[in-house]
Amino acid sequence: MSKNPLGQLTDFGQSFWYDNIQRKMLKNGDLEKMIQQDGLRGITSNPSIFEKAITGSSDYDQSLLDYAKTQNPTVDTRAAFFELAIQDIQAAADMLLPVYQTTNGVDGYVSLEVSPDLAHDTAASVKEAQQLYLRLKRPNVMIKIPATKAGIPAIEQLIADGISVNATLLFSVERYVEVAKAYIRGLTTRHTRGLPIDNISSVASFFVSRVDAILDAALDDKGAAGMHLKGKMGIANAKVAYREYLALVESDEFKQLATAGAKPQRLLWASTGVKNPEYSDVLYIDGLIGKNTVNTIPPATADAFRDHGTASETLSSGIETAEKEFTELHDLGIDVSALMNKLEADGVASFAKSFDNLLTAIDDKLHNLDSSVQGAA
């Protein structure tokens, strides 16, 4: 059977991960079907995804009730959320374990994020990440850490501890390089302790569509002079980051670690659903296909690429053009650095808001479920 465009991504060295998780897909065969037919190699989750999954269905109601019965006198909604999330992450990790094994630990991962309100607290992020990793009890899980200033040392510490990390909410190339160097430092620390480093994996989740959204708005303010750059800067930003990745894996420091079995920290393209309806619905898949990368694709975009995407190597070409386009942005007076910082701050705030909404919704559900049970009794 010939592979569809999603399945063909692996022919060009790119892994297809799914930017979605919900209990229904774990039970009705959808996830297994994607693994077999689409070449799915991993799953990412975030607070917004879990908010939609838990509040938008009754799939979690029984588990919530069961958990509530074990708590006395009151239920901690944060603890209740992680109980539900861990169940899903474990189930998905078990289904992806064969991928993890056949790829020698390169793929087959499922990511779970620490509480978003810890994004600016290094010590608390490390502590919760360690606790989640121990509770998950799966080799093929990654703990997501927002790549804020406080997140950088947390990422380094967790890698040194032997915990695979998904560094998320990356927008600027400069911050990506900080993350990549933290990964290398963490591996170095672990290696000097005489501990294995061949069983650790990491991705740096570089957001794409949000970059176009904010830079397109900035270009609109500049009038006709910048119109030719609209819809191009998200991919351009990713290509410049990929250039840095190629340099880092060729550095003497990483090559020494690679001889001890270290895996490169791959760039993962996130936020690849198109936000502007005027753009191709597969823009951020078609334009970012390249060796040793991951694209975590949301449901609608995955369906679109499966239907009419084109799998071909596109990432390594046009890097010089991408750099020139950023020079044009600066010449137009657009403060790219400030806008990238705003994207990071907005991203942290958005996930924190989703998390708060989720906890409120869980609390409401528990009260409603408890009332319905009592009423039935």
Which two tokens mark 61?
A: 């109601």
Query: Is 367 exposed, middle or buried, given 0-12, 13-18 or 19+ CB atoms closer than 10 A?
Result: exposed
**Residue for token digits 């894996």?**
249
Which two tokens mark 293?
A: 């990368």
Residue 144 is among the residues annotated as catalytic for this protein = yes
d(CA 239, CA 287): 10
Strands (DSSP E) along 45-126, which ranges?
109-113
CA 121 to chain CA centroid, Å, is 20
Q: Is 13 helix (H, G, I), strand (E, B) or coil?
A: coil
Intra-chain end-to-end CA distance of the chain, in Å? 54
**Which one, of 86, 103, 67, lies nearest residue 138 by Cα?**
86
Which two tokens mark 21?
A: 């998780």
Active-site pick, 27, 69, 137, 144:
144
Query: For 20, phi and psi rounded to 5 degrees?
Result: -175, 145
Side chain identity at residue 59, one-letter code: D
Cβ proximity of 36 and 95 under 8 Å? no
d(CA 368, CA 377): 14
Return the H-helix or E-strand segment holding 42: strand 40-43
Which two tokens mark 134?
A: 């121990």
Handedness of CA 91, 93, 96, 101 (dihedral sign): negative
**Which one, of 290, 272, 317, lies nearest residue 11 by Cα?**
290
The strand pairing partners of 141, in sequence order, are: 110
Cβ atoms within 10 Å, residue 77: 18
Q: Which residues are catalytic?
A: 144
